[in-house]
Chains A and B, each alone.
Chain A
Amino acid sequence: MAAGPLGTAALRLASVAAVLGAWEWAGRVPVSTAFPSFTTTMAAAWELAEDGSLGRALLVTLVPLAIGIAISAAFGIAAGIAMGLSRRAEWLGLPLFIVLQAAPLAALIPLLVLVYGAGLTAKVLTVCIMAVPVIVLNSYKAIRHAPASLVEMGHSFLGTRAQLVVKVILPAASPVIFAGLRLGVAAGFIGAVLAELLISPTGIGDLITYNQSIADYPKMFAAIAAVILFSVLVIGALERVEVAWFRPEKRDLA
């Protein structure tokens, strides 16, 4: 890359400024009476943050999200690794997850409500059906594409199958597994908000629905912007965890 660290930071700032500038302009034109400008949205966000309703809403949304992501990550990574390592698990699981990834899973939400009622279980499962396929498929691909030459090297230096998995295949696969996890977390956020919009209005979903119903669009957009920002921060934190725990060689680069 030609840009140094300073240049990169400047480019990032410019990109953020361009998007926010366009938002401000579109809000002032206005493209729609229901579309507030960036500054009015931020003022509304400040109001929501100050009276504590934004924080409370985020905490409520976080419950099904965190449970759903934890289940999806544990199950998804385990299933993906199993499918990558074993032909049988691959035959068993791959068609299912490819179909699930292609299917518009939001359509299943009414079914979940029918079976589990409009409660936490249905919301957790909504997060899971959104997050699991992408986590499974990325973990599977990561294991399958572990560099053959490293595996051969481990084999030639008398590594057992278990040693090759733990010391070569998993570390080599970890970047793509984490990429899948980040995509899964992003999908999980979509699932959590969908659940709150479609199943029963709580948390951020409630904040969005309520403010929409009373036509307080700046607050509605503030709630949406807050959940986007929160999602970005969580995914960024995940990236740091990955580098710190699994990729020591990248520590100085980050």
Chain B
Amino acid sequence: MSAVPALVPATPPAEAIVSVRGVTKVYPGGVEALSGITLDFPRGQLTTLLGPSGCGKTTLLKIIAGLVPATSGTVEVAGRTVAGPGPERAFVFQDFALLPWASVLRNVAFGLELRGVPRSEREAVAERFVAQVGLKGFEKRYPHELSGGMRQRVGLARALAVDADVLLMDEPFSAVDEQTRRKFQEDLLGLVATHNKTFIFVTHSIEEAVYVSDRVVLLSRRPSRVSAIIEPDIARDIAPERIRRHPVYLDTVEEIWQALRQYLD
């Protein structure tokens, strides 16, 4: 485990850490979810996959995670072809996927537990990340004692604790209430700024995508293709609460809406 990197300005190098090459996914039964997706994800940036519901954005994320095999095409992470989950990727689940019988501390340490990290060591790491996501004092609680927002903080801490380079987030805030979601989005911006990690984020919310992303990838309806890539030109050093009033933010939201509305019935 390396130490948490100090505050570094978000000056992403253009190098791609994740490359998706011609990925197609056909489900048994013939439903074609993805059709020839080719995409690069630059290191240190937050890229959002955005598209109409059922467009296969979660499928693409799970293919990158190595949880779902692609029908054809390849995914490379840091130059190596993905054949399954790997230590350089960590997943944050839409439904949190916490062990209900395990305490917050054990849940956060679970990725390390599976890697065989000794108990005292992994609990020390977990304690640090529990505190970092704002759950200090809740280490011994169980998931059913926490609110939805707090549960997702546990899911986030678990993903951070394994110190992966790439965080894959599948609609992580969709199951929490609106106020909590806004707080999460602000916290996520802080996370992107302070950790030198690459985030791949799936959402169906245009506002959320524009608020948190360096790049927004628009996917078309099934079978999905990349329909556009938009880089909201918002300086990330402005205060989070000013972003929502930023003219570029408002224009980008409108632009994406105009691009996506063609896919609605």
Q: Which residues of A contact B (CB under 8 A)?
A: 149-150, 152-160, 163, 167-168, 171, 246-249
Closest chain A residue to B159 by CB distance? A157
Q: How far is the CA of A67 from the CA of B4 in the complex (A)?
A: 57
Q: How far is the CA of A157 from the CA of B90 in the complex (A)?
A: 7
> Contacts A149-B95, A152-B67: A158 and B101 contacting too (C-beta < 8 A)?
no
Is B99 an interface position by the 8 A CB rule? yes
Residues in chain B near residue A156, CB distance under 8 A = 65-67, 85, 89-91
A-contact bits for B91-128, CB 8 A (1 contact / 0 none)? 10101010111010000001101110000000000000
Q: Which of B97, B144, B162 contacts A150 (CB 8 A)?
A: B97
Closest chain B residue to A157 by CB distance? B111
Q: Which residues of B contact A (CB under 8 A)?
A: 65-67, 85-87, 89-91, 93, 95, 97, 99-101, 103, 110-111, 113-115, 142-144, 158, 162
The secondary structure that dominates the A interface is helix
Sample (6) of A-B pairs whose CB atoms are under 8 Å apart: A154-B114, A156-B67, A157-B91, A157-B114, A248-B101, A248-B103
Are B111 and A158 in touch, CB under 8 angstroms? yes
Q: Which of A158, A171, A246 contacts B99 (CB 8 A)?
A: A171
Are B114 and A159 in touch, CB under 8 angstroms? yes
Residues in chain A near residue B93, CB distance under 8 A = 149, 152-153
Are A158 and B85 in touch, CB under 8 angstroms? yes
Residues in chain A near residue B158, CB distance under 8 A = 157
Name the 4 nearest CB pairs between A and B, nearest first: A249-B142, A153-B97, A157-B111, A159-B114
Shortest A196–chain B CB gap in Å is 40
Closest chain B residue to A171 by CB distance? B101
Known pairs A156-B65, A156-B67. 20 more at Cβ < 8 A?
A149-B95, A150-B99, A152-B93, A152-B97, A153-B97, A156-B85, A156-B91, A157-B91, A157-B110, A157-B114, A157-B162, A158-B87, A158-B111, A159-B114, A160-B114, A167-B113, A167-B114, A246-B101, A248-B103, A248-B142
Are A155 and B67 in touch, CB under 8 angstroms? yes
Q: How far is the CA of A188 from the CA of B67 in the complex (A)?
A: 43
Shortest A97–chain B CB gap in Å is 28
Q: How far is the CA of A152 from the CA of B98 in the complex (A)?
A: 11
Are A158 and B100 in touch, CB under 8 angstroms? no
Residues in chain A near residue B143, CB distance under 8 A = 249
